[in-house]
Each structure stands twice: as C-alpha cells, then as structure tokens.
Structure 1
Amino acid sequence: MTINIPSDEVDATRLAFREGMAQLAAAVNIVTTDGPGGLAGFTASAVCSVTDRPPTLLVCLNRSSSVAGMFERNRVLCVNTLAAGHEPMSKLFGGSTPQDDRFAVGDWVLAATGSPRLTDAVVSFDCEVENAVESGTHHVLFCRVVGIVHGPEDEEALVYFRRRYHHLK
C-alpha cells in the first residue's frame, strides 16, 4: 500500500501543534470557583461538551497555573461563556492580576455550587467536578452540569481564532 503525504503536511511538533490550534476557533470562557480552596478564575478556550446523559462538560486546566490547587480542592466550577463586550475581562482573567482584583470587574452572583456566575454571560454552566485526569501539562476536568443560565439571545459571542478575538452572532 502506498500513502501519499501532502506537501503541506508537517511533523506533529509542539510548534506545529500550537500553530494548528491557532486555526481552531473556540468560544472564550471564564471558569470560576469558590470554596475551601479559595476564590479563583481563569480564561479558557479548552471547554467542550462530553455528553447530555448526564449533562457533562470537559474543562482543561494547566497543572502549573496559580489556580490549579484551588479548583482541585473546591471540586466545583462555573463555565461562563463570554459575550463580545467581555474582551477586557477575558484579558484580565488570562493575566497575572490577583484573584480578588479579577472579580472586582463584572457583575457576579453565586451559582448553586457557590461558584461565581457572570450575570451577563452568553450562557453559564454551574458544575461539580466528577473526575480529573492528568494529561501532559494539564488536568482534564470532567464536570457534571447541575445548573444552566442562558443570557440574552441577541448577544454576540466572543471567540478566539488566529490569536485574535472575534465576534460571532
């Protein structure tokens, strides 16, 4: 058997992978938690559905991040999908800003799990972490959804593609 490899195919190196992932558009989310481990939040695009029976999301979290231990201890989180006007908040939660300062921006309420929920998110998924698997540099969190709050239907979503923010209606 002969396999023809296209001339634009490259080896799966770390750099090639990162460049390829830049071509994968993704929703921008702020993932939050609160509990015995403390109040924390981070910006994430590595969020996806797993199943609707029971409703379950997958969230990836870098094990070396300053918030990883807080999420591990709290075992609850809320995935807040950002709207077009939330770009500054995405940058704030994606940087080195202290946790308390991050939550000083935006309108937050507590979800049923005690995790902060952004009141003007496109959608928020309140979750309990059921399982965590280590893969490479990250924790892959399997999160059972216990509550969902939908935002305004006419709101544009914030997406990340080719290392830039875009709006999607």
Structure 2
Amino acid sequence: MSASSSPAPVAAAAPVATSDFRDGMARLPGAVTVITTDGPAGVAGFTASAVCSVTDSPPTVLVCMNRSSFAHRHFADNGVLCVNVLGADQQDLSALFANREVPMAQRFERSPWQALATGAPALDGALVQLDGQIVATHEVGTHSVFIVELRQVRQPDSTAPPAGLAYFNRRYHALGVAA
C-alpha cells in the first residue's frame, strides 16, 4: 500500500506575458488541419493546429477555436465538424483557410469536398478526415474547446507513405517517412 500526498501549494506568480507564451508555443510542433462545418448555420472552415486526441473509447478529439472568429457561431450552432489533416502538398489550403480576406464560398470552391456522416465537408486528398459531433464546449480564456465524438474516420487508399504538414517556429515543415 502506498501513501499519496497532495502537491505543495504554488506561490502566486506574475502571469506569463502573452508574447512569451506565443514564442514558447511556436516551438511546439502541430499538425496543420482545416476544420469545417455545415448545417443550419451554414458552411464554414478555418485553419487550426490546436487539435488533440482525447480518448479512443469513445473516439474523441478536441478542437480549439477563438470565440471572436467570424466562423465561431457556425460551429457552435451546427454542432458538427470535420478535422481535415493536411499533407505536405496542401500548404496552400492552409493559407487559404487562414486568410480572413477570402470569402467562405471561395475557400470551398478551390478543392473537391464530400460530406461524411455528419454532413460537414471532408477534403478529398486529406491525409485523414475525422468527422464528428460536438458533444461539449468549454470556454477557456478567448477560446472555445470543442469536445468532438467521432462518427467517421476516413483515410485515403494509398500504398505510398503520406507526407504530413506541420507548423513549427512560425513556419510550415513537411514531415516525410524515412525509407
């Protein structure tokens, strides 16, 4: 039998400066994704690297989105989304969906899309598509954290090893498979 103990209280410290936080997070590599939704509130999409696996039972991911985003209400009202994981050759789509100047309709015109189980747009050619229903939303600071139970996972039928796209140190990087 082992004894458990509580951690010692941490002394109050000055908050971390926003610039220090952003500089630190720039050194945390992240997969590049385009998050999409469709439903009664309309179609919308944005580029994100704040996506994370939560559990495999039930299969669940989390997606973080700034509440001040013009598209936030679409995701909150539709209640569904698709995480489209981009490959190394899809950097242009990341830039397109991150550009606030490009109207939503034009973003979706430039690539072929299909609807999966939830009806959210799934990008043809994505490394993987994670389609799900938002089952909970938590507000943390400026962002909503969407907890998403997956309804469908689709990967392309390809024998070639995929090359991923990561964002690190404020730049895109191709991630390949070593031979």
Using structure 2 for the length normalisation, give the TM-score.
0.87
Q: How many residues align?
A: 160
User: Is 1:71 paired with 2:78?
Assistant: no
Q: CA RMSD in A?
A: 1.2
User: Which residue is equivalent to 1:146?
Assistant: 151
Task: Specify the SS of the correspondent of 2:118.
Answer: coil
Q: Quote how far apart the aligned CAs of 1:150 are.
A: 1.0
From 16, 19, 22, the counterpart of 2:23: 19
Q: Quote how far apart the aligned CAs of 1:154 are.
A: 1.5
Task: Specify the SS of the correspondent of 2:41.
Answer: coil
Q: Deviations over 1:67-87 (max 9, x none)?
A: 000000000000000001111
Task: Specify the SS of the correspondent of 1:103.
Answer: helix
User: Which residue is equivalent to 1:7?
Assistant: none
Using structure 1 for the length normalisation, give the TM-score.
0.92
User: Is 1:131 paired with 2:128?
Assistant: no
Mark the structure with the bigger radius of gyration: 2
User: Which residue is equivalent to 1:82?
Assistant: 86
User: Which residue is equivalent to 1:157?
Assistant: 164
Q: Quote how far apart the aligned CAs of 1:95 are.
A: 0.9
Q: Unpaired segments of 5 or more residues in structure 1?
A: 1-9
Q: Unpaired segments of 5 or more residues in structure 2?
A: 1-13
Of the structure 1 ranges 147-156 and 24-33, higher mean CA displacement relative to structure 2 is found in 147-156
Q: How does 1:82-101 map to 2 (within 5 A)?
A: 82-96=86-100, 97-101=102-106
What stretches of structure 1 move > 6 A for 4+ residues in a row? none
Q: Deviations over 1:96-135 (max 9, x none)?
A: 1111000011111111100000110011100100000100
User: Which residue is equivalent to 1:5?
Assistant: none
- Could you tell me how far apart the structure 2 residues matched to 1:154 and 1:31 are? 23
Q: How does 1:28-43 map to 2 (within 5 A)?
A: 28-43=32-47
- Could you tell me how far apart the structure 1 residues matched to 2:61 and 2:48 are? 13
Of the structure 1 ranges 134-143 and 153-162, higher mean CA displacement relative to structure 2 is found in 153-162
- Could you tell me how far apart the structure 1 residues matched to 2:57 and 2:48 are? 24
